Amino acid sequence: MKPAPFILAVILGLAAPALAHGAPSACWFENGAVVVSAEIGGVAGDWLLDPSAAHTQLHETRAQMEGLPATFLARARLAGQTLEGVEVTVADLDDRAPGFVTPIAGVIGADLLRRIVVDLEFTPCRLRLSTGPAKRPDRGGPPLRVIEVAGVPVVAAGVSDDRQARYGLFAIDFSARASVRLTAAGFRPDREGAATGPRNQAPGRLRALSLGGELYEETTAALAPDLDPALTGALGTDLWSRWRLRLDIADGRLWLSPE
């Protein structure tokens, strides 16, 4: 069987009303991840920004310190926005914490992020959250189409490892270094053993990634056993940090603008 064509479909965005912008807020791009200051459920600290996580999660160590239950509804304050009724799940996040300068309080997931429009720059790191439907940025082309699978926003992309090519759905991930992390058995980056390390490492390589009509060769890669098997993989910050991003999960669009 021939591999799927190595091509992406994109759709043009329709005009939309202006956003109700929040003020730009500083964030941190370190250890392969975007980190933001936030207070969720009364727990203030540094939180990972991660659309590839379906649920907002609080590190169980902090939950125990605060006497919080396994799940609860909370008010979230971040980047000048306040959101009510955010469902928070307590989880062991030790595997997400290594390598950061300060302790990670938790993960801000897609359940919260789909309620707002996310504007993200990496150099320097700036985050702006807005309400209302997004419009096309001043620079950049048409948006990538975003759909949701297993509760997370995904885009279509193609990958090749010189033995085969595959076209599939990839989660949008702001908290893992590798440009591509793969879930599919039998479809591996080179240096497979080294590619199974923590999310802040990306020692593997893939021959090519195709996204939005652009071809990225010799991209960093790793394996992704934590992702839903319905997905081909996830696209991480070695890729996204090339761009300014505007992500509107609810309206199904992601814009990439030149830095």
The predicted-structure confidence for 151-185, as pLDDT tens digits, reads as follows 999 999 999 987 888 899 999 999 999 999 988 64
Confidence at residue 83, expressed as pLDDT on a 0 to 100 scale: 96
How would residue 21 be classed by pLDDT, with cut points 50, 70 and 90? Answer: low
Model confidence at 256: pLDDT above 80: yes
Between the alpha carbon of residue 8 and those of residues 5, 15, 42, the distances in Å are 9, 23, 43
Higher pLDDT, 184 or 94: 94
Confidence at residue 245, expressed as pLDDT on a 0 to 100 scale: 97
pTM of the model: 0.87
CB 65 within 8 A of CB 42: no
Q: What is the pLDDT of residues 178-196, one digit of tens each?
A: 999 988 645 555 554 445 5
Mean pLDDT of all residues in 194-218: 85
How would residue 234 be classed by pLDDT, with cut points 50, 70 and 90? Answer: very high
Confidence at residue 159, expressed as pLDDT on a 0 to 100 scale: 93
Q: How much of the chain exceeds pLDDT 90, in percent?
A: 68
Domains annotated for the chain, with CATH where assigned, are: 20-131 (2.40.70.10), 144-253 (2.40.70.10)
Report how far residue 30's alpha carbon sits from residue 100's, in angstroms, rounded to the nearest whole number.
Answer: 7
